Every structure is written in C-alpha cells, then in structure tokens.
Amino acid sequence: MSSTSGGLINLLIVWGIASATGFVAMAGLMLVGDWSMMQALFAAAVVFLGMGIVLSVLFLNPLPGPQVPGSAGKKPAAASATPAPAATAPKAAPTPTPAPVAVKETAAPAPAQGPGKRPAALSAARDNRPDDLKRIKGIGPKLEKLCNSLGFYHFDQIAVWTEEEIMWVDQNLEGFKGRVVRDEWVAQARQLASEG
C-alpha cells in the first residue's frame, strides 16, 4: 500500500469520526435538549467541522524524524521527493593531499582542569596523518574530534597515559566522562600502536 492511499485512509477515518460525533451531538440535542431539527443540525455542523479540524491537525501532520543530539533549534536539510539513482550521482573530484607539515611535539595550550595531570598533547597530527582513533572501542566520530581538539591524534600518545593523565582526560571529555577507564583506551591503544 502506498503512502498516498494510507494518507487517504487516515483522512477518511478522521473525518468519519468527526461526522459520527456530529451526528451523535445532533441526536442528543434533539432527544435530550429538546432542540428543533434546524438548531440541532447547525450545532452538529459546528461539532463536525471543529472535530474534523482538530483531529486533522493532531493526526494527519507528519511527525518529525529522529533528532540528532545537539541539533535542537537547527533546521533539517530538505530531502528530495524521489531519490536519485546511485549510478547518476556526480562523482566528486579527488582532493589534492596537502604537503606534509613538520609539527613539533609540544603541549597544546589548554588550561588544566580538574584532578589529575594533563598528558602531553600535539598542536596537530604528525605529518598531517592522525591515527583513526575510532578503532578504539568506545570512540566514535564525535569523541574522536573531541580527542583531537585536546591534542590527542595518535595511538602511541594514548598508550603511554599514566593513572593521573587518565584521570585528567576522563574529567575533560565533556559529555563522555569516565569513558577512558570504562572502555580501557590505554590497553587498546597499546595494542593498536604495536600493530603499527
């Protein structure tokens, strides 16, 4: 069944409920309220229209889709009515890779917050080639960006964190506190660093 016929069925159900409510209101007013046929018919028409509009607004408007965390207040991107076949999608031109930039391993300027000691950090990834930190269980795209913003780009950086440094990182992962210990990042990073 297509969504158009499903929408039509829903429309008929809503207005059918509204007309049944109007009819019951008319019969009740004539029998109990001792209203004339014209008075009851007018009241039934008002009930029918009011109920139909209210039910249409409540039940026939499409519900919003799932919300991405942090996207409250942002307008969703417009989706096309018919998806284009994958074969006709234009291919993106390859982007040239930038020349490697020499980066000194210095601590990124960030104030130490909370308990523990801030680990050594980088101002950018070595040779502009950060490790894929998402290979560590518990790190997704958002958490990888957060780690990069704190100056952590490579497995070998995470592999040497001490208990004090782990405590500092756990306290400074906004929205992800406690993940370093819970998901055992250091042990995983040691394994990934040893694999090369």
Higher pLDDT, 155 or 73: 155
Write down the pLDDT at residue 115.
Answer: 75
Q: What is the mean pLDDT of residues 11-36?
A: 89
Output 54 or 3, whichever has higher pLDDT.
54
pLDDT at residue 52, as a whole number: 86
Q: Quick one: CATH architecture of 126-195?
A: Orthogonal Bundle (1.10)
Q: Tell me the pLDDT tens digit for each residue of 123-153.
A: 999 999 999 999 999 899 998 999 999 999 9
Phi, psi of 80 (to 5 degrees): -75, 155
Say which residue, 161 or 104, is predicted with more confidence: 161
pLDDT of 60: 76
Q: What is the pTM of this model?
A: 0.43
Q: How far apart are CA 39 and CA 44, in angstroms?
A: 9
In degrees to the nearest 10, what's the CA dihedral of 164, 169, 171, 176? -140
Ramachandran angles phi, psi of 165, nearest 5°: -70, -40
Q: What is the predicted pLDDT for the residue at 59?
A: 78
Contact 67, 46 (CB under 8 A): no
- Rounded-to-integer distance, Cα 78 and Cα 75, Å: 9
Long-range contacts of 96-104 (CB under 8 A, 24+ apart): 98/128, 100/127, 100/128, 100/129, 101/127, 101/128, 103/127, 103/128
Residue 88 predicted with pLDDT over 50: yes
